[in-house]
Amino acid sequence: MTSSCGPAWRRGAAAFGAVLVASGLTAGAGRAAQATPLSFDGATLGMAISDWKSLRPPPGVGADAGPLCAPVAQVTNPTHHALAVTLRPTDAQVCGYDAQFGHDVLPHSIRLDQRYRATHVRYWFVAGHLREIDFAASIDAYSDVMTMLTHEYGPPTRTIRDWTRTSMGPVPRVRQIWRTAAGTVTLVDPAPDPVQLEVRFGAARPSALSQRKS
């Protein structure tokens, strides 16, 4: 997965032959304990929306795309996660690297490595600060994503196996969860689209962070 998800996402990808990375078992566990900020391609949870807009676009984003945002209330097809459906605060915005042609908006994908791309990449801001990053990828990228996340954060802290309904009928689903002092990373395979997986980076609630720091 291409990115600076933690310090190693893009650097680790190069070290593993451009395969997505994320942090060695012992090193990952140590970084998680130190509340390393969760990030993806330079976008760090907690950063201000103005800082995010000033970032260099991630690899693979077309020259005609730029950082575009809209109030969450205007999103016609919100995803199923908490910021889109449960919270929906009036001061929340959803952003992405999109190309706008009049009233039409074309979302751009991001290159993860030499083989895969991240699609439906969305950055969720609440009160002007980045609270969540999520994206989808082909289910064929599962091994690469697992390698990346395990390298960065150690083994998952929780694995949930169940079934989910898709357009192809009920299928088995695996949810891998990494919990750190800074937040949570979740890998879901498959996503509601049975040929895709989802990755989500969620910031810890301020109250949770303050309790850990005290």
The full set of domain ranges for the chain reads 9-73+81-213
3-state secondary structure 65-116: CEEEEEEHHHCCCCCCCHHHHHHCCCCEEEEEEEEEECCEEEECCEECCCCC
Q: Among 16-20, 41-45, 63-67, 149-153, which stretch is predicted with the lowest mean pLDDT?
A: 16-20
Q: What band does 107 get if pLDDT is binned at 50, 70 and 90?
A: confident
pLDDT value at 85 more than 80: no
- Residues 26-62: tens digit of each pLDDT: 344 444 445 677 988 899 999 999 999 999 999 999 8
For the entire predicted model, the pTM comes to 0.75
The answer to whether 59 and 66 are in contact (CB under 8 A) is no
Question: Would you say the C-alpha torsion 48, 53, 55, 59 has a positive or negative sign?
Answer: positive
Q: Which residues contact 14 (CB under 8 A, 6 or more apart)?
A: none
For residue 33, what are the β-bridge partners?
Answer: none
* Sole residue written with tokens 């850990």: 212
The pLDDT-based confidence of 131 (bands split at 50, 70, 90) is: very high
